[in-house]
Structure 1
Amino acid sequence: MAPISRRRALSLVPAAGLLTLVRPGLPAAGAAAAGTSAAEPARLLTNAVTMLAGTAETNARPEVAGRLAAIDNAARTRLAALDAAGDGELFAGLPLGTSDVNLTRSFQYLYEIALATRTPGLDLDPAATARVLDGLTWLHEHHYGDQSAGYYGNWHNWEIAISTHVSRMLALLGDRAGDLAATYVASMDAYLRNGKNGDVDLDSRFHTGANLADITTNRILQGAVLADESRVTKAVADQSTVFATIDPYRLQHGVTDGYYADGSFIQHHSVAYTGSYGKALLTRVVQAIKILDGTPYGGGAGLTDVVRGWVVNGFAPLIFEGWMMETVKGRAVSRTTTGYADVGIVVEAIVDLADHVDRASLAGYVKHLRSTSREDLDPARFVSPVSVARYADILADDTIPAGDLNPSRRSVAFNAMDRTVHRRPGWAFALSRSSDRISKYEYMNGENLLPWFQGDGSYHLYLSGQDQRRTHGVDFYTTVSPYRLPGVTAPVEERRSIPELYGRYWYENPDHPLGFTSSSESQNTYVYFPRGTNEFSGGATLGAYGAAGMTQSDDVPYVDKQAGVLPDDFVVYRNARSTKSWFLLDDEVVVLAAGIHDPDGRDVVTTVDSRIALPDDDITVTGARPGTDRVRWVRWANATEGTAVGYVFARRQRVNVELGPVTRSRRVVRVSNPDTEVTRNVFTLSVEGEGELAYALVPNATEERLRSYSDGPLSVLANSRRLQAVKHAGLELVALNAFTDGWHRAERLAVHGPASVIARRDRHTVELGVSDPTMNRNEVRVVVRGGPLRLVHADEGVRTRRVPGGTLVTVRTHQAYGRSFTATLRHH
């Protein structure tokens, strides 16, 4: 992804969109800004209504019928609930006065009626519009207009969710809203309490990333409804900041939320979040592009190119056969409607983006996702009928072949968010790390109740042809023990969820100096998304190969509790310790772990893998017996789905094998999930005790293939807390992580650590990939031993010189934020 600076992002916004930033004395509300005309707000409203409701032309198409039926059914259902409402309700079943969720849903239901009234092709009672206006008036008079009585519960509902429904309603109602429009806009401003003077505050920790995109898109619509050019131009300029690539060394407004140069996306300051908030940002920005299209506010090709970069480098690596990987979903991993549904939302954004930039490859990717997904993409779930028609056009265009935006072999180090993704034909591997920069997990609002080890090197291995709902998603976290996530080293202990500990969804102690309230910074730091305390988390890539490493640490709450920073009744948990590496090759992922122990002397267990299957699937485990056995390899196979995974140990290893049905309610992981019991056949392969461990994950392996590893090309060169290294003779590859300061040697390499290095060597050439996983070093030095080498090609910041016994390669890693540097050297 080509980085875009904030200066560059702002330069792509036309002058009309920047007036409020560069000129004092803004026009009064309703006045036209220079360079625009009074017709522009009308164009914005037309675009908005078209986006939401479609046009007579698009809605007449048979492909759009499903979306129209969904709009119509929703409106008729809401009208019936309106008729059945009792005292204190606008809609039956949604009592108002104390529930911000019910109030938000009441506005949502009104919006769904309003949408049907403006959707061409639907035949709704004309009186429905009057009922929407009456409902808006009643809600404002009784439950929204009094700002001193409002703003209970979740800030997001008051500042974003309600405003989204109301702003869209006002756009749909147009002139029929009358004075109600100005009344509601004034109230929405008053509820923007994390802003400044009823407007966006770019210095607010709440006005970042996807949240900022939501707020500013709402304000664009509000400005259009009121014909308030100053509101529109200010909102456009504020939104333009989300297009800027985050530079962690030169933060703007202190904001770490957004897209990074390596494709990472962060929200909530330290959570890897492409699959949830990143998806929301993508959607909202593309919607804003459509609303602004054809007006002086539109950003043109420059901004759409940026968004295309998000899709290619941020989203595509994380989508496997139409499924959004768990590693970037934060607390959303506990929801029942993720995975394929996530990607359906992304597809709509890509469909609309393809109308503006790079149609061939983006449309080809849409076809690829449709053809590889095990769940049909349902365009009836799209927001816009126009998007449904565009989707149909793409599928019908025989000149555009289906094509993945990923090459068939790809290794991606999302080091800015402590994630690694490795893709090969037939499988993909996703690794979740953490550090003093990135959270170990996200818990919030009763979601993701058992999250403790999700960022401690847990991984997911996805296999082609599977219905991922059966093997991953909410049912994985429901039925697999949170202490036995794949790849995790955990102490043997029982932990309690936040509601179990404190009787509510957060820790409450407003009288403490840190001021623990539901949305305080202390709640974020210590409860919702605590960071680790280790520096080393990252890795290098070289072409389609990767190396990643991490030192397992305590989180910030545990460390600060020992320092006396936290209250006595605040509960913390101590982690086990390990030093781990993952080497990402063609046919396998090699995992090394050293220094496995517990500082408090508890027993520890390292889980090699946990996999789930439907109860009736034909599962076999060979190479080891259930219980404890000493083995060189184990193979798990699901004959029903035609999938298998092999596990090869570097030496004969005592392992625990468990296989059996597990039944739990989905509420185990999320309070608001339906109390639905699910049963899965759970396979767990684990190793007890301290010391070292070395094994390879071999996707789709046969028993013959697993037996061959005893004489195969893989060898472990080092496995200690100082150095971990492997060699693959067939690939002529050596990969290592040096975790400590000083020189480390492996094969014909000497590396001054800490560092992550991959080297491939043939008779004539040496290729290097080098990274600083601590993100703190000014340079990393590597000596390639042997005859003299000359530099053929290298990234900027790499230099070489001859030293006794070899060639010194010095890589300038200062402020590189963990990115890989490559160099190609040739023998003289």
Structure 2
Amino acid sequence: MPPDRLEPAVPHLSRRQVLSLIPAAGLLAAAPPARAAASGADHARLIANTVAMLAGTPDSNTRPEVAAKLAAILRTARQRLTAMDRAGDGELFAGLTLGADDAALRQAFQYLYEIALATRTPGGELDGDATVQRRVVEGLQWLHERHFGDQTTGYYGNWHTWEIGIPTHAGRTLVLLADRLREEHPDLIPTYVTTMDGYLRNGENGDVDLDSRFHTGANLADITANRILQGALTADDARVAKAIADQATVFATIDPYRLRHGVTDGYYEDGSFIQHHSVAYTGSYGRILLTRVVQTLKTLDGVTTGSGLGEVVYRWITDGFAPLIFEGWMMEIVKGRAVSRTTTGYADVGVIVEAIADLADHVGDDRALALRKYVKHLPAADTGAFVSPVSVARYEEIRADPAIPAEDLNPPARSVAFNAMDRAVHRRPGYAFALARSSERISKYEYMNGENLMPWFQGDGASYLYLAGEDQREAFGVDYVTVVSPYRLAGVTAPVEERRTVPELYGRFWYENPGHPLAFTSSSESQNTYVYFPRGRNAFSGGATLGAYGVAGFVQSDDVAFAAKREGLLPDDFVTYRNALATKSWFMLDDEIVVLVAGVSGQDGRAAVTTVDSRIAAPGEAVAVTGERWDGRAWEPGDTGAPRWLRYANDTRGTAVGYAFLTRQPVTAGVETVTRSRRVVRTGNPDTPVTKHVFTASVTHPAGGHVADLAYALVPGATEAGLRGYTRGTLRVLANDRHVQAIQHQGLGIVAANVFSDGPRLAGRMLVDGPASVIVRSGERTVVALSDPTMKRDRVSVVLHGPRLRADSADEGVKVRRVPGGTLIQATTRHAHGRTFIATLR
């Protein structure tokens, strides 16, 4: 029978289709000024909705579950007022020096917002406190007069502060105090709006520019959400209408072959999310975008009819976020530079849960129930991180409702190819496997602003094996990237060398050379291309899925900076590093993930090391490494012989991972105690020493001479007895070189292959016209999955040798015909962007 097919990924919506879902925005945008004033948006409703979202309502704030949130709002406000009381000369808040640090100025506006929030929180001790509100107003006046109004001295530091950070806090403060400002200081709101327009320097004439590389994705959602509030405050229908229409563009599925405004940032048909043009970013910017658009839906409630947009966001959750969340933890592969922050992981998902709980009010009944079931399925979130008291009440109501059963949005077994962002996720009861690749389309990593200081190999096949029941803060997160060597990330093949961070190389957070033809400055396109998030040079990065099974392939390459330096395009003092070369495949099955590595070269006379796995544990945890050699003798740490299998066990957690080697190579494996400061991966982290047990298993590929190819399987939850009997004729490596990598699993009836070279290549009894990825599963029916991992081919095909078969069903674009000696399956892959095509034969 054909495998179960999940519902289609994020529906493909054009900008025209998206705008049709918000007729109010279209009407406002089309109406002439006089008519717009008569039939325009309900500005008072927009403001009231926003105040209720931020401060809560009398109903929500009387619920006992919300008490902690209200107490936190009050506590923060009192802390800020105390800092105001203690401010010295030239300060608005004690200890916050203004005038040169843009982050400090943003904080000052944030502090004013936090005070204002407490004065509008129903049931709070400061609710309606006129004296405190006047202090906030005076603070707004003071900041504008001394540090924000004069744009000849402003706009230093990060552009985001001036175009997004400050306007967010200032705009929300103005909304909270709108009535008082209109009565007592009617000029302050228009003054601030005019100034914020002036700081929108990456826009056009003080407004959003959809052709700007800065006005995309989450950044665009932030800017437009702010402009909706500005329009409501100034009764400017045109501003509100254009902001809604501009934000609506983020709901359109990105079609890489028909880009709008040249924008590659956003959600793709396969559930991928990209920000910064080439960075896999669901877990950070994707999360921010999700939060912002759901907040906008709440702001617009009763003002526009945008319910159809909720259905689009629902697909973001099911196909984009849910696969990447494991037991309440956001996976590392989609965090960009945020992987080095101390608050990622569970906190990321807490913010997402708030958005999911709110979104349930903006979708159809069936989808709403599915979202509420998922909220109940996920571990309890820290509601202290929620923005809205109303959301806290809604979330706790869902959790307490006995009529809502807990249910995952993921099926128990799921394999997801996020090929648009070079990522893969494979889930089974008990574990999840996440894989990060890169290509000429997707960045190898993201470094920026002193964050993620040692990222060099995070997109070179780095993998993360999450085990059920663990506190993932003890297994991954910031401590993992802190104590695990950047050259020994699990799954990575790295050259043997030492690299230096950007601050070490250049004495600042970026490479500065404005006089060069490429004009290197902190936010320049050249900085993005060669420093912040460089792409690879390889086309082959992708794979196929067949039901709950998957295959991924990757040709490792140098990055664009190294190539450009060799071509003489970069300055002499610009430092680049050469990578190791390798051809890799991952075959993601039920009990194991089989990894094949071939064609390894450290280049330039260097050795290279492939890390089979790296895992961390707390110093007090009982960890052990055991194994067996091919001759049947016990393998122990320090043994230079080739192991047939190894097993890493954390007896304290009750978890284990097995490593079954399918080729015979010496493996270096063991546990060491490592202490490092979290500041080594991010300059803004506290200088906190972290001590962990670090387990590493790796294979060295010597420089020069023949390099043996490597094959092994990761076996989550393996026992020693199971590893002793592993394979037993069930699993075979059919090919493993730089042209073809293929395996056969007889127990599952699966043959899978990556063919990296042009032209027909044999993989077992399959003849594959490469480059291509193929999975074939035999049983009552034969099911074939095909994809083009290069995203460049018009078609891919495979011939199955043996009895001739005919099509029972096939995806659009797939042809099946009999040929001498077998059956040809051909898929038209032009503009499919790595999508899998499936045919069922009999």
TM range (shorter): over 0.9
1:625 and 2:626 aligned: no
2:682 to 638, 648, 670: 670
Cα distance change, pair 238–710 in 1 and its aligned pair in 2 (3 A): closer
Structure 1 CA distance, aligned partners of 2:382 and 2:36? 42
For the 8 Å contact 1:246–1:257, the answer to whether it is kept is yes
Could you tell me which residue of structure 2 aligns to residue 11 of structure 1? Answer: 20
SS in 2 for 1:355: helix
- In the TM superposition, residue 504 of structure 1 has moved relative to its aligned partner by 0.2
SS in 1 for 2:667: strand
- In the TM superposition, residue 652 of structure 1 has moved relative to its aligned partner by 2.9
SS in 2 for 1:672: coil
For the 8 Å contact 1:350–1:362, the answer to whether it is kept is no
Number of residue-to-residue matches in the alignment: 814
SS in 2 for 1:508: coil
Superimposed CA distance per residue, residues 362-414 of structure 1 (whole angstroms, 9 cap, x where no aligned partner): 555556566553xx412122100110110111012111100000000000000
- In the TM superposition, residue 527 of structure 1 has moved relative to its aligned partner by 0.3
1:336 and 2:338 aligned: no
For the 8 Å contact 1:785–1:807, the answer to whether it is kept is yes
Could you tell me which residue of structure 2 aligns to residue 824 of structure 1? Answer: 840
1:322 and 2:328 aligned: yes
2:273 to 244, 265, 281: 265
Could you tell me which residue of structure 2 aligns to residue 787 of structure 1? Answer: 803
1:234 to 228, 242, 252: 242
Could you tell me which residue of structure 2 aligns to residue 92 of structure 1? Answer: 94
For the 8 Å contact 2:28–2:237, the answer to whether it is kept is no
Structure 1 CA distance, aligned partners of 2:748 and 2:25? 56
Superimposed CA distance per residue, residues 58-97 of structure 1 (whole angstroms, 9 cap, x where no aligned partner): 1011011011011000100000001111122111111000
Structure 1 CA distance, aligned partners of 2:37 and 2:552? 53
- In the TM superposition, residue 691 of structure 1 has moved relative to its aligned partner by 3.0
Structure 1 CA distance, aligned partners of 2:338 and 2:426? 22
1:36 and 2:39 aligned: yes
Letter in 1 for 2:104: N
For the 8 Å contact 2:376–2:399, the answer to whether it is kept is no
- In the TM superposition, residue 748 of structure 1 has moved relative to its aligned partner by 2.4
SS in 1 for 2:666: strand
SS in 2 for 1:68: helix
After superposing the two structures, state which structure 1 stretch, 468-477 or 6-15, moved more.
6-15
Structure 2 CA distance, aligned partners of 1:794 and 1:290? 42
- In the TM superposition, residue 459 of structure 1 has moved relative to its aligned partner by 0.4
- In the TM superposition, residue 337 of structure 1 has moved relative to its aligned partner by 0.2
For the 8 Å contact 1:800–1:808, the answer to whether it is kept is yes
**Where in structure 2 are the equivalents of 1:152-191 lying within 5 Å?**
152-177=156-181, 178-191=186-199
For the 8 Å contact 2:376–2:398, the answer to whether it is kept is no
Superimposed CA distance per residue, residues 775-811 of structure 1 (whole angstroms, 9 cap, x where no aligned partner): 0000001111222211111110001111101111110
Structure 2 CA distance, aligned partners of 1:179 and 1:647? 69
Could you tell me which residue of structure 2 aligns to residue 701 of structure 1? Answer: 718
Could you tell me which residue of structure 1 aligns to residue 141 of structure 2? Answer: 137
**Where in structure 2 are the equivalents of 1:405-416 lying within 5 Å?**
405-416=409-420
Structure 2 CA distance, aligned partners of 1:119 and 1:350? 23
Could you tell me which residue of structure 2 aligns to residue 195 of structure 1? Answer: 203
SS in 2 for 1:777: coil
1:252 to 241, 256, 260: 260
Structure 2 CA distance, aligned partners of 1:816 and 1:34? 46
Cα distance change, pair 195–77 in 1 and its aligned pair in 2 (3 A): same
Letter in 1 for 2:742: A
Letter in 1 for 2:54: L
RMSD of aligned alpha carbons: 1.3
**Where in structure 2 are the equivalents of 1:292-303 lying within 5 Å?**
292-295=300-303, 297-300=304-307, 302-303=308-309
Could you tell me which residue of structure 2 aligns to residue 647 of structure 1? Answer: 659
Gaps of 5+ in 2: 1-8, 628-634, 702-706
Letter in 1 for 2:262: G
1:721 and 2:730 aligned: no
Letter in 2 for 1:13: I
1:755 to 772, 780, 787: 772
Letter in 2 for 1:269: H
**Post-superposition, which runs of at least 4 consecutive aligned residues in structure 1 deviate over 6 A?**
none
Could you tell me which residue of structure 1 aligns to residue 3 of structure 2? Answer: none
1:746 and 2:763 aligned: yes
SS in 2 for 1:483: helix
Superimposed CA distance per residue, residues 189-217 of structure 1 (whole angstroms, 9 cap, x where no aligned partner): 00000000000000000000000000000
1:221 and 2:244 aligned: no
For the 8 Å contact 2:376–2:406, the answer to whether it is kept is no
Structure 2 CA distance, aligned partners of 1:299 and 1:365? 19
- In the TM superposition, residue 336 of structure 1 has moved relative to its aligned partner by 0.1
1:775 and 2:783 aligned: no
1:435 to 419, 424, 439: 439
After superposing the two structures, state which structure 1 stretch, 276-285 or 802-811, moved more.
802-811
Could you tell me which residue of structure 2 aligns to residue 551 of structure 1? Answer: 555
Could you tell me which residue of structure 1 aligns to residue 318 of structure 2? Answer: 312
2:109 to 107, 110, 114: 107
SS in 2 for 1:67: helix
Structure 1 CA distance, aligned partners of 2:772 and 2:677? 44
1:345 to 348, 351, 367: 351
Structure 2 CA distance, aligned partners of 1:204 and 1:395? 42
After superposing the two structures, state which structure 1 stretch, 442-451 or 174-183, moved more.
174-183
1:688 to 669, 684, 700: 700
Could you tell me which residue of structure 1 aligns to residue 591 of structure 2? Answer: 587
Structure 2 CA distance, aligned partners of 1:625 and 1:368? 44
After superposing the two structures, state which structure 1 stretch, 272-281 or 119-128, moved more.
119-128
Structure 1 CA distance, aligned partners of 2:480 and 2:837? 37
- In the TM superposition, residue 360 of structure 1 has moved relative to its aligned partner by 5.7
1:355 and 2:361 aligned: yes
For the 8 Å contact 2:356–2:375, the answer to whether it is kept is no
**Where in structure 2 are the equivalents of 1:452-601 lying within 5 Å?**
452-601=456-605
Letter in 1 for 2:392: V
SS in 1 for 2:565: helix
Could you tell me which residue of structure 2 aligns to residue 80 of structure 1? Answer: 82
SS in 2 for 1:204: coil
Structure 1 CA distance, aligned partners of 2:656 and 2:366? 36
Letter in 2 for 1:10: L
TM-score, with structure 2 as normaliser: 0.95
SS in 1 for 2:59: helix
Could you tell me which residue of structure 1 aligns to residue 61 of structure 2? Answer: 59
After superposing the two structures, state which structure 1 stretch, 382-391 or 7-16, moved more.
7-16
Superimposed CA distance per residue, residues 164-194 of structure 1 (whole angstroms, 9 cap, x where no aligned partner): 0011111111122221100000000000000
Letter in 2 for 1:33: A
TM-score, with structure 1 as normaliser: 0.97
Structure 1 CA distance, aligned partners of 2:596 and 2:827? 26
- In the TM superposition, residue 5 of structure 1 has moved relative to its aligned partner by 1.6
Superimposed CA distance per residue, residues 699-722 of structure 1 (whole angstroms, 9 cap, x where no aligned partner): 000001111115141110000000
For the 8 Å contact 1:427–1:699, the answer to whether it is kept is yes
SS in 1 for 2:52: helix
- In the TM superposition, residue 747 of structure 1 has moved relative to its aligned partner by 2.4
Letter in 1 for 2:573: D
For the 8 Å contact 1:633–1:649, the answer to whether it is kept is yes
Could you tell me which residue of structure 2 aligns to residue 68 of structure 1? Answer: 70
Could you tell me which residue of structure 1 aligns to residue 287 of structure 2? Answer: 279
Letter in 1 for 2:18: A
Cα distance change, pair 160–405 in 1 and its aligned pair in 2 (3 A): same
Could you tell me which residue of structure 2 aligns to residue 733 of structure 1? Answer: 750
**Where in structure 2 are the equivalents of 1:599-614 lying within 5 Å?**
599-614=603-618
Could you tell me which residue of structure 1 aligns to residue 782 of structure 2? Answer: 766
